[in-house]
Amino acid sequence: MKRTAAIVGAAAIPCGKLMAKPDAPLQVLEHELLAGCVLDAVKDAGLDKSSIDAMVFAHPRVYTRQLYFATFVANYLRIPANGVVMEVLGDGMTGGLAFDQALDQVTSGRVDVALALGVNFETAADTRAHLNNSMRAVGDVDFQASCGFTPISWYAMDAMRYMHEFGASRGEIASVAVKNRRHASLNPLAQFREPITLDEVLAQRIIVEPLGLLEVPPRSDGAACIVIANEELARNLGRPYVRIRGRGFHHEGVHQISDIPTDMMAFVPAARAARMAYEEANITAADIDFAELYAPCTIVEICVAEACGLLERGKGARASAQGQTSLGGRIPLSTSGGLLSRGHPPHVTPLYGFVELADQLRHRAGNRQVKDAELGLITCELGNYNAALIHILEAVV
């Protein structure tokens, strides 16, 4: 029988530019930072190292010199394990897949405690040189990359189409960035904490039309670790924990765009994954208290919130501008500050989302606490939400 599982511990380092330039005399080493997160997360759980029986790592970026990173870290931390020790990879979904695989280790009964963890270092690599690589991930290398698409150019086209179809204004979409920065100002893990105004967002230089610098993701390094345990063990620890209530995944069998015309902004995989997760949790979208959404650009937060049923289709931009998605609003979104302001170390970004849910649902998110938070939803994705992985988490306090 499938067992229920819980998050019992979580830790991360503040997102930022942590990676040293290649010629710096002192380098910052990925495994040193990650080991700190693991020790903190396991302490947070009230467990000791002997309880850990599986580790699922987000695969590091190509800039990480140490290869076979998972097995290297198993040695570095001296953790023998009967469950898996492995790395997973899936574009922006990577950290979410690490969580999901670790979760499977526990719910299948294979282990009692599993870690989902990872480190993403990339900021010392020049942005344009980095794009030479990432453009190969977001389109057919021969038939599309030859045109020079960048990852966020696809989201920019979502924005153009969204404005065209629903009559949303630039300001309404940009309001997401202002709101997320306000949330980030309350998050010690956030990379950008200085509040910004709508005028400032709209005045930024354009990166991909219509999106300016503050509506697209920053480049970030980061490291995080989540401790997952079977619920019986979690209960016996005698402290608040976070139950995994529902889970959904859907890949639409499409890479960036379908060759058969579809409604691109409907984010169908997110809608399907959300429906699966709601069914498993036996709730509806209206029961969700807050959500941590994987949204590299302002427009993406709007489209995915609509797909998950948290905002009304075509009206999400207006709802954001009206403050419905702010802390204190009807449905707070991206309370961490989201990818735009909390930071976006892509391969571990979803792990940061789980850290936020673990804080919110154990009612220790400080000034950004969602009052009486009981149910939270988290998404991650790859491509242009061609695949979505969604979990619903519940407070047990």
Binding site for another protein (CB under 8 A): 126-129, 131-132, 134-135, 139-150, 153, 156-161, 164, 205-210, 256-262, 264
Q: Can you state the angle between helices 298-307 and 268-281, rounded to 10 degrees? A: 50
Smallest distance from another protein to CB 133, Å: 8
Q: Which two tokens stand for residue 389?
A: 């992985």
How does DSSP classify residue 121? -
Nearer to another protein, 127 or 284 (CB): 127
| CA gap 227, 95 in Å, rounded | 13
Nearer to another protein, 262 or 282 (CB): 262
On whether the CB atoms of residues 53 and 83 are closer than 8 A, the answer is yes
Nearer to another protein, 78 or 164 (CB): 164
Nearer to another protein, 169 or 258 (CB): 258
For residue 10, which amino acid is it? A
Smallest distance from another protein to CB 326, Å: 28
Smallest distance from another protein to CB 131, Å: 4
162-187 core/surface letters (b: 16 or more CB in 10 A; e: else): bbeebebebebbbbbbbbbbbbbbbb
Asked whether the CA dihedral 101, 105, 108, 112 is positive or negative, the reply is negative
Smallest distance from another protein to CB 140, Å: 6
Smallest distance from another protein to CB 269, Å: 17
Closest of 200, 182, 159 to residue 332, by C-alpha: 182
Nearer to another protein, 238 or 253 (CB): 253
Angle at 9 between CA 68 and CA 93, to 5 degrees: 50
Smallest distance from another protein to CB 265, Å: 9
Nearer to another protein, 66 or 258 (CB): 258
